[in-house]
């Protein structure tokens, strides 16, 4: 090191020492009056803020959620066993914070920001778990599509960057699979993903992480995990933390996809917490502010204006229903907050129609503005055709005689249902989706038995790649489907149809 720099360094230190003033930090202390079930009542500790972190003995942390005249009610994050009546409690002057930044990619953290994968976490930036949602002026309309790779969704309930699309359905209907497929499909795009597990079995979370790793999706994904055995406070905090992690990336101008799996368990954790804090129960024993619980979370997904970097957060919240009842308290709340829902049905799932999307009850309120031009061109009448088919299929279930037009409607409906079936982890790119729907439009599979439709479609795509490979890159890159390309693909498909005979 040269003398020169040394001199400046020492001068710098000298200057620092001279300007150093000693200011004692005064911490407020209180005493635990009662503790049990993860909730502590503390006497003293006036002037706390809502959501402030409190430090108990042995580095156990809690969060102040009830601010009373002469004390606070706090929920504990870690095991409450070591907290005893009479212990002193310190106010930290901070609200719950979560690490953010690129260092989190590929990591698994808990809602308090600790790494769960055994490796050290080196982060410098933190964001509070609870933050106000971006204002109207800071946003721009949702216009850019976010491809999920699932044909039934991209064609009929398209999701845009910055949208909140609810995935709703009974247990074991493939909700998590749809969200994971959407994450896998972001490979080789610039989208970063955050998967938030709320109150799930640890084995389930391990399975999800394994799938993410197997598909090479962990490189661009952050997992925020809270298991069923965590305290209700930890589960309650999980989605807010996941959202802050996403906001960290959005502030860098990136597009982010967040999955909250699932918000029913989040509401249940909040109910447990509220009841333990002796808040009055309301409908279905949920506290009165359970709507605000989810609205303030989901309002934070946004598409930011160019001035603010143009990043976005797309949210895929998941809700589990009981017996298909979408009009229960929490499902209706979340349906009214989000910009549309993907409704999954047990009946469809068990009859082999997977993904089990009920297209009649699924909507996207952002609609076609979040769809590639190419997709718009081929998916126009799909919804109507499918609903007409479903309606007609019910009438003709008992093998009654049908006229020619109805027979055609039924045949085409069956063919479309078959084409929309898609296995787990088999995403389709835009070109494949457009080509499949164009083939359906041209009735290429007219003379193919229903059970062979899927394999014939696969064969057709294989042939198309061989002869029209350039179109694939063009469509995938530009999202456009020009008349010229359409004409050539049409010719090819009609030729393919001739050869099928
Ligand atoms: P839970 O209510 O337990 O969270 P879930 O609704 O999230 O369930 P998943 O765990 O995604 O459902 O899926 C349930 C089962 O269905 C899994 O075994 C999965 O492999 C299978 N499955 C999901 N989607 C498909 C699909 N498209 N094709 C074939 N199998 C599927
Ligand atoms: Mg699931």
From 94, 171, 283, 365, the catalytic residue: 365
Instruction: Identify the pLDDT of residue 1.
Output: 43
For the chain, give the longest Cα–Cα distance.
100
> What is the reported pLDDT for 142?
94
Alpha carbon of 177 to ligand 1 centroid (Å): 5
Angle CA 429–316–427, to nearest 5:
20
Span 493-501, mean pLDDT?
89
Token digits for 8? Answer: 């400046």
Q: Report the separation in Å between the CA atom of 172 and the middle of ligand 2, taken as the mean of its atom positions.
A: 7
pLDDT at 397: 75
| Contact (Cβ atoms closer than 8 angstroms) between residue 168 and residue 335 | yes
pLDDT for the residue numbered 36: 85
Percent of the chain with pLDDT over 70: 98
* Ligand 1, atom 2: closest residue by C-alpha: 171
Q: Is 285 helix (H, G, I), strand (E, B) or coil?
A: helix
Q: CB of 265 closer than 6 A to ligand 1?
A: no
pLDDT given for residue 13 in this prediction: 83
Ion ligand 2: residue ranges with CB closer than 5 A: 176
pLDDT per position as a tens digit, 101-132: 999 999 999 998 999 999 999 888 999 999 99
Ligand 1 atom nearest the C-alpha of 422 is 27
pLDDT the model gives residue 5: 53
Say if residues 176 and 194 touch (Cβ distance below 8 Å).
Answer: no
- Judge whether 345 and 356 are in contact, CB under 8 Å: yes
pLDDT tens digit string along 174-200?
999 999 999 999 999 999 999 999 999
Burial of 486 (0-12, 13-18, 19+ CB in 10 A): middle
Buried b (16+ CB within 10 A) or exposed e, 24-54: eeeeeebebeebeebbbbbebbeebeebbbb
Q: Which residue has the higher pLDDT, 57 or 435?
A: 435
Kindly state the average pLDDT of the residues 324-328: 94
When pLDDT is averaged across residues 433-444 and rounded to a whole number, the result is 95
pLDDT at 6: 55
Conformational region of residue 445, where left means phi above 0, alpha means psi within -120 to 50, and beta covers everything else? alpha
Strand pairing partners for 195?
A: 223, 259
At CA 351, angle to CA 172 and CA 205, rounded to 5? 20
In this prediction, residue 7 has a pLDDT band, given cuts at 50, 70 and 90, of: low
Eight-class DSSP state of 497: H
- Say which ligand is closest to the CA of 181: 1
271 flagged as catalytic? no
Q: Which residues pair with 198 in a beta bridge?
A: 226
397 or 151, which is more confident?
151
For residue range 194-220, list pLDDT tens digits in order.
Answer: 999 999 999 999 999 999 999 999 999
Judge whether residue 418 has pLDDT over 50. Answer: yes
Mean pLDDT of 248-253: 96
Ligand 1 pocket check for 283: Cβ under 6 Å:
no
- The H or E element spanning position 33 is strand 29-36
The pLDDT, as a whole number, for residue 500 is 84
By most ligand atoms within 8 Å of CB, the mutation choice from 149, 172, 205 for ligand 1 is 172
């Amino acid at each position: 090191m040269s003398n020169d720099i040394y001199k400046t360094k020492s001068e710098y230190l000298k200057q620092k020492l001279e300007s150093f003033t000693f200011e004692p930090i005064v911490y407020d202390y209180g005493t635990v009056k009662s503790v049990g079930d993860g909730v502590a009542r503390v006497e003293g500790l006036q002037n706390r803020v809502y959501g402030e972190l409190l430090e108990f003995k042995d580095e156990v942390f809690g969060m102040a959620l009830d601010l009373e005249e002469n004390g606070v009610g706090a929920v504990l994050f870690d095991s409450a066993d070591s907290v005893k009546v009479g212990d002193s409690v310190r106010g930290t002057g901070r609200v719950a914070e979560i690490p953010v930044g690129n260092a989190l990619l590929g990591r698994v953290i808990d809602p308090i920001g600790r790494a769960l994968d055994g490796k050290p976490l080196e982060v410098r930036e933190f964001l509070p778990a609870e933050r106000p949602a971006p204002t109207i002026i800071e946003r721009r309309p949702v216009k850019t599509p976010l491809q999920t790779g699932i044909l039934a969704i991209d064609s009929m309930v398209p999701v845009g960057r910055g949208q909140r699309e609810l995935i709703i359905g009974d247990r074991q209907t493939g909700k998590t699979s749809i969200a994971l497929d959407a994450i896998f499909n972001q490979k080789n795009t610039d989208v970063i993903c955050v998967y938030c597990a709320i109150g799930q079995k640890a084995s389930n979370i391990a399975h999800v992480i394994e799938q993410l790793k197997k598909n090479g999706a962990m490189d661009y994904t952050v997992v925020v995990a809270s298991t069923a055995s965590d305290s209700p406070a930890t589960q309650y905090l999980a989605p807010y933390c996941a959202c802050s992690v996403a906001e960290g990336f959005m502030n860098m101008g990136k597009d982010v996809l967040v999955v909250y799996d699932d918000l029913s368990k989040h509401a249940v954790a909040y109910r447990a917490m509220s009841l333990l804090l002796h808040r009055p129960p309301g409908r279905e024993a949920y506290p009165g502010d359970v709507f605000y619980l989810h609205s303030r979370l989901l309002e934070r997904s946004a598409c930011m204006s160019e001035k603010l970097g143009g990043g976005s957060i797309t949210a895929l919240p998941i809700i589990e229903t009981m017996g298909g009842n979408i009009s229960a308290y929490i499902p209706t709340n979340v349906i009214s907050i989000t910009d549309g829902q993907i409704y999954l049905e047990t009946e469809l799932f068990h009859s082999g129609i997977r993904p089990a999307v009920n297209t009649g009850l699924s909507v996207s309120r952002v609609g076609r503005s979040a769809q590639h031009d190419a997709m718009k061109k081929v998916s126009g009448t799909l919804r109507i055709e499918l609903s007409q088919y479903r309606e007609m299929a019910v009438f003709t279930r008992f093998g009654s005689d049908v006229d020619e037009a109805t027979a055609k409607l039924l045949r085409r409906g069956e063919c479309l249902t078959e084409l929309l079936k898609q296995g787990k982890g088999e995403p389709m790119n835009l070109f494949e989706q457009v080509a499949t729907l164009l083939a359906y439009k041209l009735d290429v599979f007219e003379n193919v038995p229903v059970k062979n439709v899927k394999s014939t479609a696969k064969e057709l795509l294989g042939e198309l790649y061989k002869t029209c490979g350039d179109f694939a890159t063009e469509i995938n890159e530009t999202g456009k489907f020009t008349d010229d390309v359409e004409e050539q693909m049409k010719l090819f498909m009609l030729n393919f149809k001739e050869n099928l005979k």
